[in-house]
């Protein structure tokens, strides 16, 4: 089998095929689907999630998980809103929110990297706790009425037809691609995810890298939270609630192993396209948000289950073939003797 | 020499320290807050612990095998709504039938999780993140924006949360809490003394070794998920009995509360150690601190989640640090003996 064909049969090839299928069905369902506006809108509706999915890719390849991202998004949005409400200038509020996000990430990273606690437990605590801090700040209010330039940044096109968040996503995607796939740091992310003990004995500063990744995760999540506040124009205590499910789904569907060490950004990029287009298509068909989430959940399970089942079937088939051969050779030897 | 070390394992000290913490919290709150040690507080805490604790028992079984079930909140909601609507449609349904229906519904949903995890080899966190969304979707479609109201339910269901089974002084034990305590006793026994229970620990502490030892790992993990689903189904029935009014968002967030109870209760998230008694004590401590701190510090309800997050982190951190230290203390005599033997 030549390399090109193997590439096509890989996980990314499968995702590409699904994406083409979804796009073709969507284009048939609604002619408006292919318009540039709909394409931009389709990204714009989930732009905050896909920005966070980029850094989540690093975390999961590194063998950890960050369940607290949605709460950090909510907290950053609440900080911006509450500071603005108290009369602080918007620029200062944004900076404070970003710093708070980095601090949340550093907090998670400290316990995971330097104390050695499981990231699942630490970020679960963070998920509840950071959301709790957001609720302390905003209580049951809904804060809106941001300056016009702020909401315009979230909702209006900035360069040509592209809004700021989409441009940021493109830049971050390029940056993440270079760092993860083409830099030394990226190699270390894979090495640690594959076998942290080997990395440590090879002289890699594992805790520092893990801490750095969690800080990046908090910072990017806070940025996404600020963008979400700008796009929605109002912030409440439950802003971004439950986003972690979608974000983690995007990464895992992209072929990144939950046990770390494997996966790449090309796959995650394709899985983002698949999920966004699938949701867009279902919206065109007037399927409600809950059903969409359920379908994405099904896709998540199937994306791991189907390859597993195929693998098991192949193993069983091979074992049977080997057994048959053994029986035959056994018969032959008994005849010859 | 050191016979007490042989009788008590470090893991048991964890449960004792939980009880100690609960007693200290009760003493401080009772001293600082007027009327804290009252029948009302007891009733409030026990009826909330009844539901979360029931789910936490099931969660413990799954976490012991080094898995996790994040779909329990959706299972609780689905069962509460499903059984509620069946009871509203057939008010003549006997109580036993309603409970069996709840347990079977939960068990069926747990079976799906278990099959995918144990036989499909899909990591539990992926599977149950998916079914968390899928079961909720089923419920929302089934409910179709209708609400089950107290009035539509037979009176015995709602009475369950108000009756007094027996009372110790002013402290009335409600049937809901008694059911959860009974489940805890049964599963504490199952985990400690039955082959199935010991297998859960063996598979969780070293899956490789368990497989090489010939333990039916897949079947055992499947059973853990089915039991977890059944207990979540039972919790769904308790939820229905306690609240009466059920909407499509019922039970949302219980998965996190149950994981929190399990973690605070000292069940290792990497599997292999912990007990259902610990999980129930964890649920109790969380609720007690939640109720007590809010009233003591005079802070608003909005502080609850932040405190809960901090509490979980402290529990995991102290668990890891203290247990590591205790294990070293326990291992020291054996190590010393070994060293002197070698000399």
DSSP A58-104: HHHHTT---TTHHHHHHHHHHHHHHHHHTT--HHHHHHHHHHHHHHH
Task: Find chain B residues with C-beta within 8 A of A127's C-beta.
Answer: 256, 309
A124/B256 touch (CB, cutoff 8 Å), yes or no: yes
pLDDT at A335: 55
The per-residue pLDDT for B2 is 57
A251 neighbourhood in chain B, CB within 8 Å: none
Q: Residues 6 or more apart from B337 whose CB is under 8 A from it?
A: none
Q: What is the mean pLDDT of residues A196-205?
A: 91
Q: Which pLDDT score is estimated for A289?
A: 80
Return the closest-CA partner of residue A278 out of A26, A27, A32, A38. Answer: A26
Q: Can you point out the beta strands (E) in chain B?
A: 166-168, 171-173
The whole-number pLDDT of residue A337 equals 47
pLDDT of the residue at B173:
83
Residue B65 predicted with pLDDT over 70: yes
Give me the residue spans of the domains in chain B.
Answer: 3-333
Chain B residues with CB under 8 Å of A64 CB are: none
Query: Is A98 domain-assigned?
Result: yes
What class does CATH assign to B3-333? Answer: mainly alpha
Residue A134: partners with Cβ closer than 8 Å, 6 or more residues away: A71, A74, A75, A77, A78, A79, A237, A239
Q: Would you say the C-alpha torsion B131, B134, B139, B145 has a positive or negative sign? A: positive
Contact B303 A132 (CB under 8 A): yes
Closest Cβ opposite residue B116 in set A248, A294, A301: A301
What pLDDT sits at residue B29?
87
Confidence at B342, pLDDT banded by 50, 70, 90: low
Lowest mean pLDDT among A5-19, B34-48, B215-229, B265-279: A5-19
Q: Which of A270-279, B130-139, B286-295 has the lowest average pLDDT? A: B286-295
Q: Which of A133, A136, A294 sits opposite B134 (nearest CB)?
A: A294
A124 and B312 within 8 Å at the Cβ level: the answer is yes
Q: Does B304 touch chain A (CB under 8 A)?
A: yes
In chain B, residues with a C-beta closer than 8 Å to the C-beta of A113 are none
Mean pLDDT of chain A: 89
B297 touches chain A (CB under 8 A): no
CB contact under 8 A, A126 and B316: no
* Region A305-330 average pLDDT: 84
Nearest Cα of chain B lies from the Cα of A316 at a distance, in angstroms, of 14
Instruction: Specify the pLDDT at position A5.
Output: 56
Is the alpha carbon torsion for A277, A280, A282, A284 positive or negative? Answer: negative
Q: Is the pLDDT of residue B221 over 60?
A: yes
Per-residue pLDDT at A324 exceeds 90: no
Least confident of A151-160, B71-80, B95-104, B189-198: A151-160
pLDDT given for residue A181 in this prediction: 93
The per-residue pLDDT for B289 is: 83
Q: Tell me if chain B has a CB within 8 Å of the CB of A130.
A: yes
Chain A segment 231-270 residues within 8 A of B by beta carbon are: 237, 245, 248-249, 252, 258-259
Q: Helix, strand or coil for residue A144?
A: strand
Top pLDDT among B309 and A190 is at A190
B224 close to B202: Cβ distance less than 8 angstroms:
no
Residue A271 has which token pair? 């899985």
- Nearest Cα of chain B lies from the Cα of A109 at a distance, in angstroms, of 13
Average pLDDT over residues B174-184: 92
Q: Report the pLDDT value the prediction gives residue B6, as an integer from 0 to 100.
A: 67
* Six token digits for residue A90: 């918007």
Share of chain B above pLDDT 70, in %: 96
Q: Is A32 on the interface with B (CB under 8 A)?
A: no
* CB-CB neighbors (< 8 A) of B303 in chain A: 132, 136
How distant is the Cα of B256 from the closest Cα of chain A, in angstroms?
8
In 3D space, the residue among A262, A299, A275 whose CA is nearest the CA of residue A180 turns out to be A262
Query: Can you tell me the mean pLDDT for A40-54?
Result: 93
- What pLDDT is recorded for position A6? 60
Chain B CB contacts of A309 below 8 Å: 120
Segment A86-107 mean pLDDT: 96
The C-alpha atoms of residue B319 and residue B263 are separated, in whole angstroms, by 9
Cβ–Cβ of A296/B126 closer than 8 Å? no
Q: What is the pLDDT of residue A332?
A: 58
A262: left (phi over 0), alpha (psi -120 to 50) or beta: beta
The residue count of chain B comes to 343
**Where is pLDDT greater, at B140 or A324?**
B140
Quick one: pLDDT at residue B112? 97
pLDDT tens-digit readout, A215-227: 999 999 999 999 9
Closest Cα partner for B256 from B302, B311, B208?
A: B311
A-B contacts (CB, under 8 Å) = 133
Beta strands per DSSP E along chain A? 142-144, 157-159, 162-163, 234-236
Answer with the residue of higher pLDDT: B142 or B290.
Answer: B142
Mean pLDDT for A298-312 is: 85
Taking the Cβ of residue B75 and every Cβ of chain A, the question of whether any pair is shorter than 8 Å is answered with no
> In sequence order, what DSSP letters do the residues of A280-316 get, joined into one string?
HHHHHTT--HHHHHHHHHHHHHHHHHHHHHHHHHHHH
Residues ≥6 apart with Cβ < 8 Å to A30 = A284
- HSE-CB for B306 with a 13 A CA cutoff: 19
| Cβ contact, residue pair B129, A139, below 8 Å | no
Name which of A253-262, A276-285, B142-151, B163-172 the model is least confident about.
Answer: B163-172
Residue A248 to residues A183, A308, B101, Cα–Cα distance (Å)? 24, 19, 34
pLDDT given for residue B241 in this prediction: 93
pLDDT in tens, B7-22: 677 667 778 888 888 8
Using CB atoms, pick whichever of B259, B306, B321 lies closest to residue A124. Answer: B259
Residue A268 has pLDDT above 90, yes or no: yes
Average pLDDT over residues B239-259: 90
**Token representation of residue A325:** 């051969």
> Residue A143: helix, strand or coil by DSSP?
strand
Q: What is the 3-state secondary structure (H, E, C) of B53-67?
A: HHHHHHHHHHHHCCC
Q: Indicate whether A199 belongs to any domain.
A: yes
Averaged pLDDT for residues A235-259? 88
Asked whether residue A329 carries a pLDDT value surpassing 80, the answer given is no
pLDDT band of A1, cuts 50, 70, 90? very low
**Which A residues in the span 42-101 are in contact with B, Cβ-Cβ below 8 Å?**
65
Mean pLDDT of A181-203: 93
* Pick from A120, A245, A308: CB nearest B133: A245
> Is 70 exceeded by the pLDDT of residue B145?
yes
Confidence at residue B5, expressed as pLDDT on a 0 to 100 scale:
66
Provide the residue range defining the domain that includes A121: 12-287
Q: How far apart are CA B158 and CA B87, in angstroms?
A: 12
How far, in Å, CA of A214 to CA of A109, rounded? 5
Nearest to A305 among B120, B308, B312 (CB): B120
Question: What's A241's domain CATH number?
Answer: 1.10.3470
DSSP assignment string, A164-177: HHHHHHHHHHHHHH
CB A120 within 8 A of CB B313: no
Is A128 near chain B, with CB under 8 Å? yes
Is the pLDDT at B1 greater than 60, yes or no?
no
Chain A contact set for B300 (CB, 8 A): 136, 139
Report pLDDT digits (tens) over A111-149: 999 988 888 889 989 998 999 999 999 988 999 999 999
pLDDT band at B269 (very low <50, low <70, confident <90, very high): confident
Paired sense of beta strands B166-168 and B171-173, if any: antiparallel
Tell me whether A139 touches chain B (CB under 8 Å).
yes
Rounded CA-CA distance B73/B254 in Å is 5
Region B16-35 average pLDDT: 86
Any idea what the Cα angle at residue A290 is, between residues A288 and A291, rounded to 5°? Answer: 70
In a domain, A301, yes or no: no
SS3 state at B168: strand
Q: Which of A2-11, A124-133, A230-239 has the lowest mean pLDDT?
A: A2-11
Please give the model's pTM, rounded to 2 decimal places. Answer: 0.85
Q: Does any domain span residue A64? A: yes
pLDDT given for residue A48 in this prediction: 95
User: Mean pLDDT, to the nearest integer, of A78-103?
Assistant: 95
The answer to whether the beta carbons of residues B296 and B94 sit under 8 Å apart is no
- The verdict on a CB contact (< 8 Å) between A301 and B137 is no
């Amino acid at each position: 089998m030549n390399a090109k064909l193997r590439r096509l049969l890989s996980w990314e090839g499968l995702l590409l095929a699904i994406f083409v299928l979804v796009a073709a069905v969507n284009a048939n369902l609604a002619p408006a689907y292919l318009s540039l506006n709909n394409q931009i809108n389709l990204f714009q509706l989930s732009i905050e999630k896909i920005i966070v999915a980029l850094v989540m890719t690093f975390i999961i390849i590194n063998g950890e998980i960050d369940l607290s991202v949605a709460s950090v998004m909510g907290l950053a949005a609440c900080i911006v809103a509450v500071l603005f409400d108290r009369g602080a200038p918007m620029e200062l509020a944004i900076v404070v929110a970003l710093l708070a996000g980095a601090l949340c990430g550093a907090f998670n990273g400290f316990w995971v990297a330097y104390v050695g606690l499981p990231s699942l437990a630490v970020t679960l605590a963070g998920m509840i706790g950071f959301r709790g801090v957001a609720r302390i700040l905003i209580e049951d209010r809904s804060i809106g009425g941001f300056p016009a330039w702020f909401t315009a940044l979230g909702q209006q096109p900035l360069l040509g037809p592209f809004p700021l968040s989409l441009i940021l996503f493109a830049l971050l995607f390029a940056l993440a691609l270079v760092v993860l796939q083409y830099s030394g740091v990226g190699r270390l992310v894979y090495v640690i995810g594959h076998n942290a003990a080997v990395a440590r004995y090879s002289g890699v500063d594992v805790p520092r890298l893990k801490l750095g990744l969690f800080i990046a995760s908090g910072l990017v999540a806070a940025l996404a939270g600020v963008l979400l506040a700008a796009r929605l124009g109002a912030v409440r205590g439950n802003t971004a609630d439950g986003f972690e499910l979608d974000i983690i789904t995007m990464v895992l569907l992209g072929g990144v192993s939950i046990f770390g060490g494997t996966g790449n950004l090309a796959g995650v990029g394709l899985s983002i396209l698949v999920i966004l287009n699938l949701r867009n298509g279902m919206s065109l068909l007037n399927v409600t948000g809950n059903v969409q989430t359920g379908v994405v959940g099904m896709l998540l399970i199937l994306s791991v289950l189907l390859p597993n089942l195929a693998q098991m079937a192949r193993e069983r088939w091979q074992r049977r073939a080997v057994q048959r051969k053994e029986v035959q050779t056994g018969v032959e030897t008994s005849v010859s003797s | 020499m050191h016979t007490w070390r042989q009788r008590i394992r470090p893991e048991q000290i964890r449960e004792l320290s939980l009880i100690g913490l609960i007693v200290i919290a009760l003493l401080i709150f009772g001293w600082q807050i007027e009327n804290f040690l009252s029948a009302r507080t007891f009733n409030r805490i026990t009826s909330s612990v009844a539901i979360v604790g029931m789910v936490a028992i099931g969660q413990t079984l799954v976490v012991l095998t080094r898995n996790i079930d994040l779909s329990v909140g959706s299972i609780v909601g689905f069962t509460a709504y499903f059984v509620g609507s069946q009871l509203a449609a057939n008010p003549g349904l006997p109580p036993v039938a309603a409970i069996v229906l709840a347990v079977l519904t939960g068990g069926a949903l747990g079976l799906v999780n278990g099959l995918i995890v144990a036989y499909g080899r899909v990591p539990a966190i992926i599977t149950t993140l998916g079914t968390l969304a899928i079961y909720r979707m089923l419920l929302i479609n089934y409910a179709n924006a209708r609400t089950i109201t107290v009035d539509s339910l037979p009176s015995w269901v709602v009475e369950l949360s108000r009756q007094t089974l027996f009372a110790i002084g002013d402290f009335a034990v409600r049937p809901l809490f008694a059911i959860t305590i009974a489940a805890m006793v049964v599963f504490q026994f199952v985990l400690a003394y039955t082959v199935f229970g010991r297998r859960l620990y063996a598979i969780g502490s070293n899956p490789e070794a368990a497989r090489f030892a010939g333990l039916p790992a897949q079947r055992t993990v499947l059973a853990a998920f089915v039991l977890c689903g059944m207990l979540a189904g039972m919790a769904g029935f308790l939820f229905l009995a306690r609240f009466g009014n059920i909407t499509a968002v019922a039970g949302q967030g219980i998965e996190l509360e149950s994981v929190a109870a399990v973690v605070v209760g000292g069940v290792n998230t990497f599997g292999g150690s912990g007990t259902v008694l610990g999980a129930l004590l964890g649920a109790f401590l969380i609720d007690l601190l939640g109720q007590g701190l809010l009233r003591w510090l005079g802070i608003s309800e909005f502080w609850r989640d932040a405190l809960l997050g901090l509490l979980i982190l402290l529990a995991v951190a102290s668990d890891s640090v203290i247990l590591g230290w205790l294990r070293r203390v326990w291992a020291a005599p054996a190590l010393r003996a070994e060293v002197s033997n070698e000399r």
